[in-house]
Amino acid sequence: MNALTLAIASIRSRAMHATLCMAAVAAGIALLCAVFLFSESVSSGFARNAKGIDIIVGTKGSPLQLVLSSVYHADVPAGNIDEHDLEHLKHMPQIRSAIPLALGDNYKGFRMVGTTPDYLDLYKATFAKGKVFAAPFETVAGADTGLSVGDKIAVTHGFSADGDDVHDDHLYTITGVLNPTGTVLDKLLTSRVESVQQLHAGHEHHHDHDEEDEDYEEDEVDHEHEADRHEESHEHDEHHHDENGSAFTHQITAVILKVRSPVDLMNLPRKINESSELMAAVPSYEMARFTKSLGIGRQLIVVLATGFVVLSALMLWATLSSGLALRRYDLAVLRVLGASPRRLAATVIAEALLISGCGALIGVVLGHGIAYMAVSSIEGLRGLVLPSVLLMPRMMDIGFILLVLIAGLGAAMVPSFNAARTDIAKLLARGRT
């Protein structure tokens, strides 16, 4: 019977104390692990989705809103810009490439993005089936959309899945389905910019009450009602529509830019912001600022969780000490039977390591589960973070377990020292108390 077996026997004899200690350790580590996993996954999700995007250009407003709406597709855009701006940007010497984005519709919550095939290349997308869009109203579906090649879909105006303003006069045809990329692309539908523009131009014509539209046979009252409803929807989406339908055919929402050098990355946004009606934002800067502001909450949770771990180490110390007080006569008997002081100390240390190690292991598993559930339940994070990745073991887990083992070892130091220097003669002389 070695120190480990004796430690297990000791734990079993005081199962309630040991369980409470383990629970405290597990709670602290679960919180720490979940916070770190969540934060790391969101950060890496932000980075992964913005990879290859140096600058995003859109209409003037909030740079963070521009980044969230046009890079991460997690917010609504503030408005549109003119397609001529795209041509202007393309001809700037600092710019290596410019990819247009035209937003405004969704299919069951999956956003339709009018763009070019370069957008797919940005995420290194490959086709599971089919081919890239070529003609207007051909579309490529992301891996999570559940669509198949040949499907015909009618998109809904705006970004809300439950919107009732369906563009059923023009159906999109799925020409290709992408393999999963682990990016927001998995939840997007992509088509040519002209598809989105044409659809919205038509949409604006409805707003202008185009009486000559043969398919539109509702009476005047219904027209007014419909128009009002559309306006409300537009306001809700903060989606700017030009009053002139034909002008809308030359609008896009944003442009993704890749610059030629780091110096351009520093200077170009300022230049664009100062010299035009456009706004340029650098996703990496904006997200760094965003995560920094979120960091205060994260730090608070980390402090709380660290407090839990320290508290559990103190609990462990108290448990080991009280356990030692209860069984000091038993330890004396072990010494009488020939156990060395070092062996008694090893038994106490093994007990501490077992309790803290099991607690840490449970905590890490719980932490992964909590992070998984948190990410799965927050709709805005879908596409940004891959929940299944949160269930995979990380190097960080070993760090947490080691941290707790060190804390457990620290908690065991004094009790193990006391066990080793048990005054056997005095204890035996006094008898069991």
Partner 1 sequence: MSSVFLDAKNIKVQLDHSKTLTFPDVTIHHGDAVLLLGRSGSGKTTLLSVLAGLLRPSVGSMTIDGQSLYAMSSAARDHVRGQNFGFVFQTLHLLPSLTLAQNIGLAADMAQVTPEAGRLDYLLETLGLKDKAHRKPDALSQGEQQRAAIARAVLLRPKIIIADEPTSALDDDNAQAVMKLLKDQAKDTGAALLIATHDDRIRPHFKTIINLENLMRDKVSEEVA
The residues binding partner 1 (CB under 8 A) are 1-2, 9-10, 12-13, 329-330, 333-341, 343, 424-425, 428-429, 431-432
Q: How far is the CB of 315 from partner 1 (least distance, A)?
A: 21
The secondary element (H helix, E strand) that includes residue 357 is: helix 341-377
Q: Which is nearer to partner 1, 296 or 429 (CB)?
A: 429
Q: Which is nearer to partner 1, 346 or 375 (CB)?
A: 346
Q: What is the Cα–Cα distance from 424 to 158, expressed in whole angstroms?
A: 81
Q: How far is the CB of 161 from partner 1 (least distance, A)?
A: 59
Q: How far is the CB of 75 from partner 1 (least distance, A)?
A: 59
Helix (H, G, I), strand (E, B) or coil at 149: coil
Q: How far is the CB of 432 from partner 1 (least distance, A)?
A: 5
User: Residue type at 344?
Assistant: L
Q: Which is nearer to partner 1, 289 or 430 (CB)?
A: 430
Q: Which is nearer to partner 1, 89 or 427 (CB)?
A: 427
Q: Which is nearer to partner 1, 91 or 426 (CB)?
A: 426
Q: What is the Cα–Cα distance from 108 to 156, expressed in whole angstroms?
A: 8
DSSP 8-class letter at 382: B
Q: Which is nearer to partner 1, 191 or 422 (CB)?
A: 422
Q: Which is nearer to partner 1, 326 or 373 (CB)?
A: 326
Contact indicator for 258, 194 with CB cutoff of 8 Å: no
Q: What is the Cα–Cα distance from 392 to 406, expressed in whole angstroms?
A: 24
Q: Which is nearer to partner 1, 2 or 293 (CB)?
A: 2
Q: What is the Cα–Cα distance from 108 to 85, expressed in whole angstroms?
A: 31
Q: How far is the CB of 314 from partner 1 (least distance, A)?
A: 25
**55-59/138-141 β-pairing:** unpaired
* Residue 292 burial by Cβ neighbours in a 10 Å radius (0-12, 13-18, 19+): exposed
For tokens 């009488």, the residue is: 336
Contact indicator for 89, 57 with CB cutoff of 8 Å: yes
Taken as a whole, the chain contains a residue count of: 433
Q: How far is the CB of 312 from partner 1 (least distance, A)?
A: 23
Q: How far is the CB of 427 from partner 1 (least distance, A)?
A: 10
How is residue 431 written in tokens? 């008898």
Q: Which is nearer to partner 1, 301 or 428 (CB)?
A: 428
Q: Which is nearer to partner 1, 66 or 419 (CB)?
A: 419
Q: How far is the CB of 11 from partner 1 (least distance, A)?
A: 8
Q: How far is the CB of 351 from partner 1 (least distance, A)?
A: 12
The phi, psi pair for 72, rounded to 5°, reads: -100, -10
Q: State the number of CA atoms in the 13 A half-sphere of 159 facing the CB.
A: 20
Q: How far is the CB of 25 from partner 1 (least distance, A)?
A: 22
Q: State the number of CA atoms in the 13 A half-sphere of 370 facing the CB.
A: 20
What's the angle, vertex CA 47, arms to CA 139 and CA 42, rounded to 5?
95
CA distances from 432 to 187, 221, 273, 331 (A): 70, 96, 83, 11
Q: What is the Cα–Cα distance from 43 to 371, expressed in whole angstroms?
A: 14
